[in-house]
């Protein structure tokens, strides 16, 4: 009977006070329930009043050097550059894996590639609206950053691209820790910036756009009207930004966590032709028309469109920063910015022209630096020192531990460590990773380990099996482009890498993902 009353107290007192805790403690003591503790009764510790709001902005397929503050020369990003100027910029920050869905899974669950439930883009359904099926869903019982914030008394929102399960599955965002969701549930639908609909929680949200395929056949005789046929009336990122601002305004008097996984600059190359961002670049580059030779929509000026999309994202960031300021939330709101993986290789994108990865090797879907090293910026006026640059080695599965530390709660078990000391200017107290582990089963199967300045890489593991696939070894301090393989000179490091793989890899639940266990190497 006592436990029934306690459960009622839990439900009523989500934002419980110290007084209530004392009453519960006394009740437990009087009842002689010596096996229970207050932490046993409350699944999540609650943050103290006054804890910061957190907005985490997540670009899609943005390369390491596609922002002005990371050296970009051709694309203008003044608002994100301002974030860096007024906060901290990381130069050795990594995504957890080099492609969309698993990167999101690992970010939200604090797990590396050897432990994550979702490790690749496991697609369900198809592109037409009638076949929208999403990606492999997060299973029931998954504990996400959203759950953690909810348990700490925060209102949680996710606006943008989800990619972790449709609304009728266990992976739906409202079932995975988010009070409010708006955007694309299925990342295949997110290939089109003018979809017929988005989703608001578990209901379709119609947009005034006609249905059309963003994966047409190559047509090199396309007219201006033909290029224009891939532009609709309602640009999805505009609508998502409006919803993000509504969420902030609605919850301005409560602590909130807003996860903003924008779709920009993931192809298709689509940008409103009359937009301020596009006019900045129209006719500026000697651009050869793109006729869908490498998939996605054709575009008459692909270089201008790509640059404009990134500048458009920067404008959205500026709108959110301005709203935070106008609402008087500036000093109590942490804004962070990063991306899920490196620049893409298809859809009309020209990474070489924009120097998108600053000379790093590889692109999206590679565990080389160009595929996994990402921008990471954080701003919190008065708390995060302005103009700070750090070369601390960090990764996106650190965010669960970092967020918990920033709001003053204990993080659940995860693979990351808190970046709070570095963020707040106390680098002397910062714990360091012994190593970072990356495992990616697609594109032939890949493994990478960052160990101080050393980086070990295996590619095409499925072809010959783990044991028969040689390690490549690079010294990133001397060779950031990963051009000189030093594996033969350092057999001691190769042994250590094998030991790390043995420790970090856990069997995957999908057979084709299980390619790496050195005890059971995949045969030819």
User: Are 372 and 464 part of one and the same domain?
Assistant: no
User: Are 350 and 491 part of one and the same domain?
Assistant: no
pLDDT, position 133: 96
- The C-alpha atoms of residue 49 and residue 285 are separated, in whole angstroms, by 52
User: Are 6 and 68 part of one and the same domain?
Assistant: no
Please state at what angle helix 2-12 crosses helix 18-31, rounded to 10 degrees. 170
Task: With a cut of 70, list the residues of the chain below it in pLDDT.
Answer: 1-49, 518-524
Which CATH number do you get for residue 139? 3.40.720.10
Three-state DSSP at 187 gives coil
Task: Give this prediction's pTM.
Answer: 0.90
pLDDT, position 518: 59
User: Are 30 and 68 part of one and the same domain?
Assistant: no
Q: Quick check: 422 and 430 in contact, CB under 8 A? A: yes
Q: Which domain holds residue 7?
A: 2-39
Tokens of 7: 């459960």
For residue 440, what is the enclosing H or E element? Answer: strand 436-440
What are φ and ψ of residue 499, in 5° steps? -65, -35
In the DSSP assignment, the letter for residue 348 is T
User: Are 375 and 450 part of one and the same domain?
Assistant: no
Q: Is residue 151 part of a domain?
A: yes
User: Are 79 and 13 part of one and the same domain?
Assistant: no
Q: Quick check: 96 and 414 in contact, CB under 8 A? A: no
Tokens of 230: 């891939």
- The C-alpha atoms of residue 460 and residue 445 are separated, in whole angstroms, by 5
Alpha-helical segments (H) within 32-154 = 38-41, 78-85, 100-109, 145-151
Q: Quick check: 52 and 324 in contact, CB under 8 A? A: no
Tokens of 511: 């057979």
User: Are 238 and 287 part of one and the same domain?
Assistant: yes
Q: What region, left, alpha or beta, does residue 482 occupy, with left being phi > 0 and alpha being psi -120 to 50 degrees?
A: left
Q: Quick check: 248 and 164 in contact, CB under 8 A? A: no
Domain boundary among 363, 387, 411: 387
User: Are 24 and 66 part of one and the same domain?
Assistant: no
Tokens of 392: 């601390």
Counted domains in the chain: 3
In the DSSP assignment, the letter for residue 426 is -
User: Are 351 and 463 part of one and the same domain?
Assistant: no
* CA nearest neighbour of 316 among 266, 378, 242: 242
pLDDT, position 49: 57
Q: What region, left, alpha or beta, does residue 301 occupy, with left being phi > 0 and alpha being psi -120 to 50 degrees?
A: beta
Q: Is residue 421 part of a domain?
A: no
Tokens of 108: 């939200």
Domain boundary among 387, 422, 447: 387
* CA nearest neighbour of 303 among 368, 228, 356: 356
- The C-alpha atoms of residue 104 and residue 7 are separated, in whole angstroms, by 33
User: Are 33 and 133 part of one and the same domain?
Assistant: no
- The C-alpha atoms of residue 89 and residue 453 are separated, in whole angstroms, by 19
- Other CB atoms within a 10 A radius of the CB of residue 361 amount to 17
User: Are 111 and 177 part of one and the same domain?
Assistant: yes
Q: Is residue 45 part of a domain?
A: no
pLDDT, position 115: 97
Q: Is residue 164 part of a domain?
A: yes
- The C-alpha atoms of residue 329 and residue 414 are separated, in whole angstroms, by 30
Which CATH number do you get for residue 494? 3.30.1120.10
Q: Is residue 408 part of a domain?
A: no
- Residue 16: partners with Cβ closer than 8 Å, 6 or more residues away: 9, 42, 46
- Other CB atoms within a 10 A radius of the CB of residue 291 amount to 20
Domain boundary among 354, 387, 420: 387
Q: Is residue 108 part of a domain?
A: yes
In the DSSP assignment, the letter for residue 92 is E
User: Are 127 and 218 part of one and the same domain?
Assistant: yes
Q: Is residue 407 part of a domain?
A: no
Give the E-state strand segments of 265-341 in sequence order: 333-339
Q: Is residue 399 part of a domain?
A: no
pLDDT, position 516: 80
Q: Quick check: 259 and 56 in contact, CB under 8 A? A: yes
């Amino acid at each position: 009977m006592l436990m029934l009353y306690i459960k009622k107290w839990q439900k009523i007192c989500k934002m419980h006070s110290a007084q209530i805790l004392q009453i519960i403690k006394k009740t437990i003591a009087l009842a002689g329930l010596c096996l229970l503790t207050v932490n046993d009764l409350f699944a999540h510790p609650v943050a103290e009043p006054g804890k910061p709001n957190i907005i985490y902005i997540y670009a899609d397929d943005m390369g390491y050097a596609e922002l002005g503050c990371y050296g970009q020369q051709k694309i203008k990003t003044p608002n994100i550059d301002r974030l860096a100027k007024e906060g901290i910029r990381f130069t050795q920050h990594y995504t957890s894996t080099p492609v969309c869905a698993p990167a999101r899974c690992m970010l939200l669950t604090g797990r590396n590639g050897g432990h994550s439930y979702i490790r690749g883009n496991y697609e369900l359904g198809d592109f037409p609206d009638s076949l929208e099926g999403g990606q492999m869903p997060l299973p029931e019982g998954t504990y996400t950053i959203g759950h953690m914030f909810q348990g700490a008394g925060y209102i949680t929102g996710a606006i943008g691209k989800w990619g972790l399960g449709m609304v009728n599955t266990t992976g739906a965002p409202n079932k995975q820790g988010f009070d409010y969701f708006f955007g694309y549930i299925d990342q295949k639908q997110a290939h089109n910036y003018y979809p017929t609909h988005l989703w608001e929680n578990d209901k379709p949200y119609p947009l005034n756009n006609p249905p059309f395929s963003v994966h047409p056949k190559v047509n090199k005789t396309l007219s201006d009207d033909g290029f224009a046929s891939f532009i609709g009336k309602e640009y999805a990122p505009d609508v998502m930004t409006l919803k993000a601002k509504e969420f902030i305004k609605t919850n301005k008097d409560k602590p909130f966590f807003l996860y903003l996984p924008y779709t920009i600059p993931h192809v298709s190359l689509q940008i409103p032709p009359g937009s301020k961002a596009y006019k900045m670049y129209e006719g500026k580059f000697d651009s050869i028309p793109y006729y869908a030779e490498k998939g996605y929509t054709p575009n008459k000026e692909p270089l201008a469109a790509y640059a404009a999309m990134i500048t458009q994202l920067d404008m959205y960031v500026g709108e959110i920063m301005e709203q935070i300021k106008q609402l008087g939330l500036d000093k109590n709101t942490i804004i962070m910015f990063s991306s899920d993986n490196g620049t893409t290789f298809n859809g009309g994108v020209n990474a070489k022209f924009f120097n998108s990865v600053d000379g790093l090797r590889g692109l999206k879907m590679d565990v080389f630096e160009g595929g996994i090293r990402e921008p990471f910026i954080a701003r919190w006026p008065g708390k995060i020192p302005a103009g700070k640059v750090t070369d601390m080695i960090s990764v996106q599965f650190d965010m669960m531990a970092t967020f918990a530390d920033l709001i003053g709660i204990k993080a659940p078990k995860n693979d990351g460590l808190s970046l709070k000391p570095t963020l707040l200017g106390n680098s002397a107290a910062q714990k360091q990773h012994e190593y970072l582990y990356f495992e990616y089963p697609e594109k032939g199967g890949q493994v990478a380990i960052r160990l101080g300045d050393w980086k070990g890489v295996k590619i095409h593991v499925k072809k010959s099996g783990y044991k028969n696939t040689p390690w490549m070894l690079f010294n990133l301090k001397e060779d950031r482009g990963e051009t000189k393989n030093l594996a033969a000179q350092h057999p001691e490091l190769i042994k250590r890498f094998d030991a790390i793989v043995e420790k970090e890899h856990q069997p995957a639940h999908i057979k084709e993902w299980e390619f790496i266990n050195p005890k059971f190497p995949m045969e030819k």
